[in-house]
Amino acid sequence: MHYAGVTTYYRFLRRSLHVATDGGWLFYAWMLVLTAVALVGANAWAVQVRDGMVRTNMTDHVSWGLYIANFTFCVGLAAGGVMMVIPAYLYHDHDMHEVVIVGEVLAIAAIVMSTLSVVVDLGRPDRFWHLIPVIGKFNWPVSMLTWDIIVLNGYLFINLHVVGYLLYTRFRGRTPDPRWYVPFVLLSIVWAISIHTVTAFLYCGLGGRPFWNTALLAPRFLASAFVSGPAFILLVLRVVRVGTDLPVNPGPSRLLVQIIRVAAVVNLLMLASELFTLFYAGGSHLASARYLFFGDHGKHGLVPWIWSAIALNLIGTGLFFTPAALERGWVRPVACACVIVGIWIEKGMGLIIPGFIPSTLHEVVEYAPSLTEWKVTAGIWAFGLLLLTAMLKVTVAVFTNQMAEPVEAAGPGPTTGS
């Protein structure tokens, strides 16, 4: 019996690998482009490790840049998937339950991207083992970074378990046992909130950085994550509906649009509240915001970024409020693209970078990412999308019962199910 279990699992993995690498011309072209970009990124990173972080445009004044900016966004993306889980499991929305796995799969890819974004930011990735509890020296519970490592890895494993369990049981033609996954799904709801809260605490816990040192940071992170996450899922659902045989009802997407409507307004409201406090009260807390929005000491590097973000967020939110956003048309993907790019800027170039400008001693040293940083970041996205595509292929195949082996290949081993 035990032996049969192992071979069945092996067959599942083998079939998954097959399904994940099999498709039409468009699929191969997509995977080829992603692989190429990922390789360019890997090469840029290897060169950066060899030559030093001098390959980036970071300095002792702006000591975190595009990598940590992208990290922050990706954590939000991972947390955003919970906005499918809550309706599916807490409100028993049947249609959402059918496609909720898409959100969990996205969470896995997004967590991998956030982890990679931190790894490429390390000056000494060869000493990664120092972070491993017990064999390294894990400064828990004092350092917020250790909390972040725990919650991000925890979230990854919870989602890997849920997705893996659901796919494998369906592959075997069995009904998933709720005891084996519902508790983990419920845990993942709390955990999703925690990953983005702790990520905000990384920044807002620093007393020396007034721009980040605000209690509103974690709520803002969550609100914007509940826009960018569902928006990304809407795009994925569109691709799944158009490109695969998986039936996708209109209900879940409409619900996600409704969620985005609320979260986007809350996000903009909190942004306005933050800006009012900064600009009306003035003082030293204002320095970064003034530089970010209007420039300071004749330097304006971030001004185009932040106004693009504000424009994109406003346009995207406006589009989501049109009735057309509830229908299957072009309005919805455009709105999604607007808020995804808008929030990517708002959380990165518009939040991480100005935390360093001016510096803690009020020196204005500007920062714009180097080509190496762009290549590495593009590589991380390409790798994340590769992973996402492969996992979605398997998911769709399992859910549409297309995992069966070609007839001839069936050998003398144990038969499916029992």
Selected from 142, 190, 215, 281, the binder of another protein by CB under 8 A is 142
Selected from 93, 95, 145, 314, the binder of another protein by CB under 8 A is 145
- Write out the binding residues for another protein, residues 377-416 only, by CB under 8 A: 397, 402, 404, 406-409
Q: How far apart are CA 236 and CA 53, in angstroms?
A: 35
Binding mask 255-294 for another protein (x = CB under 8 A): -----------------------------x--x-------
**Please, what's the b/e burial string for 88-100 (b: 16 or more CB within 10 A of its CB; e: otherwise)?**
bbeeebebbbbbb
Of 92 and 124, CB closest to another protein: 124
CB of 166 to another protein, least distance (A): 21
Q: How far apart are CA 81 and CA 391, in angstroms?
A: 15
**Is residue 139 part of the contact set for another protein (CB under 8 A)?**
yes
Q: How far is CA 220 from CA 255, 304, 416, in A?
A: 21, 22, 49
- CA 249 to centroid of chain Cα atoms: 24
Q: Nearest Cα to 396, choosing from 255, 251, 247, 235?
A: 247
**Is residue 299 part of the contact set for another protein (CB under 8 A)?**
no
**Is residue 118 part of the contact set for another protein (CB under 8 A)?**
yes
Q: Encoding tokens for residue 209?
A: 């950085």
Residue 354 one-letter amino acid: P
CB of 404 to another protein, least distance (A): 7
Instruction: For the chain, give percent helix, strand, coil, nearest 5.
Output: 75, 0, 25
Binding mask 17-46 for another protein (x = CB under 8 A): --x-xxxx----------x---xx-xx-xx
- Contact yes or no for 367/62 (Cβ under 8 A): yes
Residues that bind another protein (CB under 8 A): 19, 21-24, 35, 39-40, 42-43, 45-47, 49-54, 56, 58-61, 63-64, 118, 121-128, 130-131, 136-139, 142-146, 149, 202, 206-209, 284, 287, 355-356, 358-363, 397, 402, 404, 406-409
